[in-house]
Amino acid sequence: MERKADIKRKTSETDISLKINLDDISPSEISTGVPFFDHMLNAFAKHGQFYLEIRCDGDTQIDDHHSVEDIGIVMGLAFKKALGDKKGISRFGFASVPMDDSLAQVSVDFSGRAFYKYTGCELSGYISDYAEELTNEFFYAFAANAGMNLHANLIYGQNRHHIHEALFKALAVAVREAKKIVSDEIPSTKGVI
């Protein structure tokens, strides 16, 4: 069974097409119109060990918020579709990832229930034109639409680029562990997720 999804979503603010293959590690093709976010999504796909193809035409002349949030929505929907009934997956994932001066820890559960929590320094500055709070917007939209628990903890960090890269890479490794096929059963005492 191929764990793939192809999602398109068009609104008055964004036009997004996204393809994922959870079992393909080919180089991703990412163009969101938000250069720093492209860099983070490339890290997410590379270290999450999945193929990601994404194109977004968004109203970035206003700001990047709609593009980043809507990509989180579409990414969550794509993961939900690609995972299907979640038969055989590990379900849970955890990662502690350093990036030079920064250390991030992320825990995920593809439980079918949506919850997002971030702890750490306030993400309120800018990296080039990228507003730091957009990382929280993406993580929240991704978790809500994938139907997953996502807890992100920034333990410490100084360099703003390193902080976000540690968070995205920790998310990647946690997701990689959670999507891994480890059995032929539904990973729940209920028999369904």
- Position 16 scores a pLDDT of 98
Q: Is the pLDDT of residue 74 over 90?
A: yes
Q: Tell me: the pLDDT tens digits for 135-158?
A: 999 999 999 999 999 999 999 999
What distance in Å separates the CA atoms of residue 34 and residue 14, rounded to the nearest whole number?
13
How does residue 77 score in pLDDT terms, banded at 50, 70 and 90? very high
Mean pLDDT (whole number) for 84-100: 98
Cα of first residue to Cα of last residue in the chain, in angstroms, is 18
What distance in Å separates the CA atoms of residue 101 and residue 62, rounded to the nearest whole number?
33
Q: Are strands 102-109 and 149-156 parallel, antiparallel or unpaired?
A: antiparallel
Q: Is the pLDDT of residue 1 over 80?
A: no
- Position 179 scores a pLDDT of 98
Q: How would CATH label the architecture of 4-179?
A: 2-Layer Sandwich (3.30)
- Position 191 scores a pLDDT of 87
Q: Is the pLDDT of residue 57 over 80?
A: yes
Q: Nearest Cα to 119, choosing from 103, 130, 131?
A: 103
Could you state, in order of their start, the residue ranges of all structural domains in the chain?
4-179
Mean pLDDT (whole number) for 106-121: 98
